[in-house]
Structure 1
């Protein structure tokens, strides 16, 4: 799939410098972004460190059971069989579960995992399995319970899973009933235009959600519907069966907690010394682990030999915490700093696909990997796209707009265009009238003030009201001109809402359902087949 490279603004200078291989950032990571140079070395290290990870046969058995439930496809089971082989490696990436898969970038991240695994397998001539893990352990319900679709005018509408969840339990543990799903699907049905793909798409997502009791399961089945034929294996990080496998890793995280805290502090110092803002909090008393207590996910602190949360709801000695882990491993989960260590203690990771924010906070972890007896894997920035539909491309040419104009100067360009459409210069004409009025009215007010002091106050009030009315008339004149050009302004708004809705990149707002409804699923396969370079470039593509 051909595309035009366009710069896309980023919120992380550290990630941008890593992608550009600048020395200040490069020293915080194990491998260079040009991953082919380190791929063989990484594979050799993984071969030598097989005993540092959980038994891959146990892992494969767990994955067979989980994927049979939510991702049951022959290609997926073939991938799991290959993963059980001693020389098999993994390319992985993950995301918290989102409603109807969430923003488009989630689709691009999963496509990146598949494409990078194929490329690595070709280069290494050994099995490399694509695996996507779902961060069902995350507890920010308000962040994942909605998504966005355009209406028939192109305006973005929020599709939300109704029902208030006030707790802080893991998303995978929040029950969603059938009526809640049906309310979401009714919103989708209303927003999606009729196309040849719509009946099959609605049937598919309806069946998925009717068979799902929580957001993580529905998310997994949605990803499966799009990627199972590529052999993409799925894993829910909050699955109790997985937690039982991870129990020895959590034990090591607890026993080495002091050492790891020191390593993260050192990582934070190196990031700051290199001149970067802190990408994630590194608390001096942070244990970098969560404990689930009565449906609430609590971040643990370590102080004076005790593991406790900030509110004092729980408190454990190390011995008691280890006992709790042995009895209830499902009550434990990682934070953003220990999740990379868990991932590499479970999977033989050749490379990991990350967003720019993730690349930044991984810059804190290199020393922690070493202290844990691991090595930071190769980090690859996920694929990044803006889908340019023909109608918006046509309108951009019509109004002389570039992609960067839309990204940075849209309002300014629109105002300039509007001003060029009218010979009547609203602001200039009203300014002239107001100036002439004051020239006539000002002296009159001075004269009547001499007749009686009270007239000065009445005159000032009168002048203020006249100015307000003139401003109102000016606003109404601007509005009339806008109404006169309403069709063209809808073109401008359509461009904005398609490419940078609410001022954000398309891939961070739009849901994939709009494009699946319009173009089917083939474009996802094309993305995977056409992608072999992971250099952090942003592509504008046409479907």
Structure 2
């Protein structure tokens, strides 16, 4: 495949905050520590003060991988994490069914490529790409479906606990439906087998996801972390206790959110007074403080302050950070340098820096994940034949149609010159009328407005009539737009890896590895 790069601005799909961050806007500098470039990364490496325990981290990872039989690249990277000159590059995501939307894949590729670039720049150090599984998340409705060929495949299951612990006993119907789409080609059969082994031969969603993602990316040494672990939570328990009792994060995050909003930016997350859940099998509920006690929402479970301290000391694994505290947990247990996230993630991490500063935890380099649009051969040929550049596909469909009609019309469709001429005549009439009777100028303005309105309507009718003459070309424009923007949204936000893998196999992943530029600052167009 070939790659072409365009600016994120040209896509019209990224928020003002993200674009300002990429463009080094002065107003945002208080909300992050280092620039997302090689200089900023080098500074982060030199200043990294790791508060976790490398021995514990390696032990936990070895335990989590013991039934997986990982390849030498993964095994070596886990071992390297024991060394003080080893750092991680991390991305995180929910346990979406069959990997979910394509941007999940793009996140991991960005992390892998950044680790490679850092190793080249700092050969005396080691950089490990990490996928942090959001195993403690409990919003199953967000992850229990996948879109293939504009059809939804869903996993029907009732749960209120952490999705990573969810049994895979009821997923067989979804697996069968997914395999039905994949077909009988060599590529289709390979990914079908992977999915079957992942989801039908593992007891829970965390292990199933690890198996699938490992098989897709183990050759690149990707290490997959499940932080729903007592040993890892023990490293974080002092923060858990302080934050629940003193409610520091609520105050720090609220202040940063207010400052961002004053600058005109939309904030992504809202902190709570207590930013932890109480976690057991089939239960993940918010902790709230009422009438001098710590209550587990929607249950009869409650703690006095002393009982809470004891529970945290003895069972730190039962305290699950929410969206605003999870990043800090990550940075405490991993020797991390950079976090790879989508636009919304980059935005909400900026709400968190003041809280990191309060707890004296190093804030990583925030890096926008690579985004891509794969333009199939048929769509590319359609665009070229219609006279468009590839990047034009990001324009709204009606704008594309109007551009095409203007370029290919034999008649004059824009009445701008005529409108100016008529307005000039009305201005002269108004001047003459004013000399006769001052009140007549109002009537002249009214007549002018009516005429302009009639001309505008006539211009629309001319466009509609010309469009009817070019129906075939305009339908082609609609079809290309629908193919590349399924359901009217970015391809990477709705489409699953399945069609890409069926059509291109391993070449699709290797193409992403070859062409994504983590520090390039551009959107990637991929062409077979």
Structure-1-length-normalised TM-score: 0.79
Aligned to 1:430: none
2:17 counterpart of 1:14: yes
The offset of 1:193, in angstroms, is 4.9
Asked if the contact 2:370/2:523 (under 8 Å) is kept, the reply is yes
Q: Which runs of 5+ in 2 are unaligned?
A: 411-464
Aligned to 2:449: none
Structure 2 CA distance for aligned equivalents of residues 119 and 374 of structure 1: 25
500-509 vs 69-78, greater mean Cα deviation: 69-78
Aligned to 1:74: 72
Match of 1:250 among 229, 240, 253: 240
The offset of 1:19, in angstroms, is 1.6
Aligned to 1:397: 384
Q: Deviations over 1:126-153 (max 9, x none)?
A: 1111111100111111110111111xxx
Aligned to 1:121: 119
Is the partner of 2:107 in helix, strand or coil? helix
Match of 2:175 among 185, 193, 215: 185
RMSD, aligned CA: 3.0
Is the partner of 2:35 in helix, strand or coil? coil
Asked if the contact 2:34/2:43 (under 8 Å) is kept, the reply is no
Asked if the contact 1:288/1:301 (under 8 Å) is kept, the reply is no
Aligned to 1:168: 160
Match of 2:205 among 215, 225, 230: 215
Q: Deviations over 1:485-528 (max 9, x none)?
A: 79984x55552343211111000011012111111113322322
Aligned length: 468
Asked if the contact 1:198/1:517 (under 8 Å) is kept, the reply is yes
Asked if the contact 1:94/1:134 (under 8 Å) is kept, the reply is yes
Where has structure 1 moved over 6 Å in runs of 4 or more? Answer: 415-423, 484-488
Distance change (3 Å), C-alpha of 1:310 and 1:16: farther
Q: Deviations over 1:343-385 (max 9, x none)?
A: 1110111111111101111111111111101121111111110
Asked if the contact 1:344/1:374 (under 8 Å) is kept, the reply is yes
Asked if the contact 1:92/1:130 (under 8 Å) is kept, the reply is yes
The offset of 1:323, in angstroms, is 1.6
The offset of 1:240, in angstroms, is 4.9
Is the partner of 1:287 in helix, strand or coil? coil
Structure 2 CA distance for aligned equivalents of residues 200 and 308 of structure 1: 49
Structure-2-length-normalised TM-score: 0.81
Matches within 5 A, 1:112-511: 112-125=110-123, 126-150=125-149, 156-161=150-155, 163-165=156-158, 167-177=159-169, 180-240=170-230, 242-254=232-244, 257-283=246-272, 286-292=273-279, 295-302=282-289, 305-309=292-296, 311=298, 313-403=300-390, 405-411=392-398, 413=400, 489=475, 491-492=476-477, 494-511=479-496
Structure 2 CA distance for aligned equivalents of residues 234 and 293 of structure 1: 22
Structure 2 CA distance for aligned equivalents of residues 195 and 350 of structure 1: 41
Structure 2 CA distance for aligned equivalents of residues 380 and 420 of structure 1: 40
Aligned to 2:62: 64
533-542 vs 401-410, greater mean Cα deviation: 401-410
Asked if the contact 1:71/1:220 (under 8 Å) is kept, the reply is no
2:528 counterpart of 1:538: no
Q: Deviations over 1:448-494 (max 9, x none)?
A: xxxxxxxxxxxxxxxxxxxxxxxxxxxxxx9xx99x979984x5555
Structure 2 CA distance for aligned equivalents of residues 414 and 344 of structure 1: 49
Structure 1 CA distance for aligned equivalents of residues 26 and 407 of structure 2: 48
